[in-house]
Amino acid sequence: MKHIVTSGCSFAEDTHTWSTFVRLYGKDYQDCKVWNYGCGSRGNFWIRRSISNKVFDLLQDGVSPNDIYAIASWSTSPRIETPIDHTQWPIDPEMGNLDPSDETKPGRGLTKFGEVRYHRYLVSENAGKFHDGSSYDDGKTFWTCCHSTVYEHHEEEMLKFNQHKYASSLEIVNYYDQILFLQNYLDVNKINYMFMSMRNLRQNIFADDSLSNEGWWRTQFKWNEDSKFELNECRCSHCEDYRKHGHWLKPQYSRMITPDVKDCPLIEESLPHLEPTIKQINWDKFWFYKNERNDYGGNLEWTHEETDFISPDPEPHHPMPHGWLEFFWIILKPILEKNGVFGKSNDKFYTDIKTQWKVWLGDNI
C-alpha cells in the first residue's frame, strides 16, 4: 500500500479541495491511504510540522520510504501558529462572555476533516489571532493562528529604526526556511515528494516595500472576455450554496485573467538575505503554472484561468469543488502516476462525479 501525506492551508483542506479528490480516488481506485492535514488559515510552519510528523510516524511503523509520497501546498507568508492549551480556549474579552463549551452556536464544537481535529470559535474580531485550534496528532496538541501578535510588534519596532524596506522581512525569511526544512527532511529520509503553492511564491508580487501586502496583486484579476458568457449550472455543493445566497442567477464570464507579474523581480532580488535559502531549495520539485503572464503560478492562478465559474466576481477566490476536481484530474493525477504512486487510470471516478454534479442530490461534494 502507498501512503500519501498532504498539507496546506484552506486551499488544501480535505473538505472540497484537490486533497479530497486525492483521498477519494486513492481509496476507491488505487491501493493508497491518504493522510490529509490541510487546514484553513495555516501557514508554512503548520505544513512543515504536519507532514514531517506523519512521515516520521509512518517510518517508525515500518512503512518503506518507497511507499510514502508527500504533497505540500505552501501557504502565504505572514501565517504562523502558536501552541495553545486546548482545554482553556482563548476568548477575546472584547467579544463578551462566551461559553466555549456551548456547541449549540454556529461554528462551535470539535470537528474533523481529513486527519485534522479542528475547533473554531468566534473569539476575536481579528481573524488573524486565536480564532480556532487545529491538531495534526489526533487531538493530543492544538495550535492556533497568531500572525498579528507575532509580527505586528516586530514591524513597529523595525519602523522605529528606519527599517521600512525590511519591516516584514522576518516573516518572509521564516516562510522560505520552512520549505527548505521540509525538503531536507524528506530528502534525508529518501521520501519522494512534490511541492506547489497556492499562489506565486518565487517573485515579489507586492506593490510596496512590505513584501507581504497583496493589495496590488488582488486588484489585477479581471474577467476573461474571450471565455464563455453563460449561466453557471454546476450543482456541486459550493455552487449550490452560493446560488442560495443570490449569486450566479444571471449569465457571466466563466473564466478570469490573473495578474501579469512577468516583470516582477524574484523575491531574493528584493530581499538578498534570502539568497542562501533560495539557492538551496530544489525548485525542480515544484509544480508551477506557466503562461504568458506568470512563470511561477500556483493552484489559485491555474484554477482561475483554466476552469469555469471559480468565483461570481473577478477576484482571487477559494476555488469551487468543480475547479479542484479539474486540478486533480489534469495536473495532480498525472504527476502521481508518473511517480509511481497511482497505477492505471480509471476514468469512472471523474465521469461519476461530473454526472453527479449535473443534478443537486443534497449530498454532493
Residues 285-318 pLDDT 10s:
999 999 999 999 999 999 999 999 999 999 999 9
Neighbours of 260 (CB within 10 A): 12
Are the CB atoms for 98 and 92 separated by under 8 Å?
Answer: no
Buried b (16+ CB within 10 A) or exposed e, 110-126: eeebbbbbbbbbbbbee
Quote the Cα angle for 251-252-256, to 5°.
160
**pLDDT (0 to 100) of residue 102:** 52
Residues 245-257 pLDDT 10s:
999 999 999 999 9
Are the CB atoms for 9 and 75 separated by under 8 Å?
Answer: yes
Say yes or no to pLDDT of 99 above 90: no
Neighbouring residues of 138: CB distance < 8 A, sequence distance ≥ 6: 115, 117
The full set of domains in the chain, from first to last, is 2-79+169-356 (3.40.50), 81-145 (no CATH)
Are the CB atoms for 92 and 124 separated by under 8 Å?
Answer: yes
Q: Which of 16-30, 76-90, 109-123 has the lowest mean pLDDT?
A: 109-123
Considering the chain, what is the average pLDDT of its residues? 89
Say yes or no to pLDDT of 362 above 80: no
Q: Secondary structure of 275-313 in the HEC alphabet?
A: HHHHCCCCHHHECCEEECCEEEECHHHHHHHHCCCCCCC
Q: Which residue has the higher pLDDT, 280 or 235?
A: 280
**pLDDT (0 to 100) of residue 104:** 44
**pLDDT (0 to 100) of residue 103:** 46
Neighbouring residues of 146: CB distance < 8 A, sequence distance ≥ 6: 80, 81, 82, 128, 129, 130
**pLDDT (0 to 100) of residue 147:** 79
Residue among 173, 178, 187 nearest 275 (CA): 173
Say yes or no to pLDDT of 224 above 70: yes
pLDDT-derived band at 113 (thresholds 50, 70, 90) equals confident
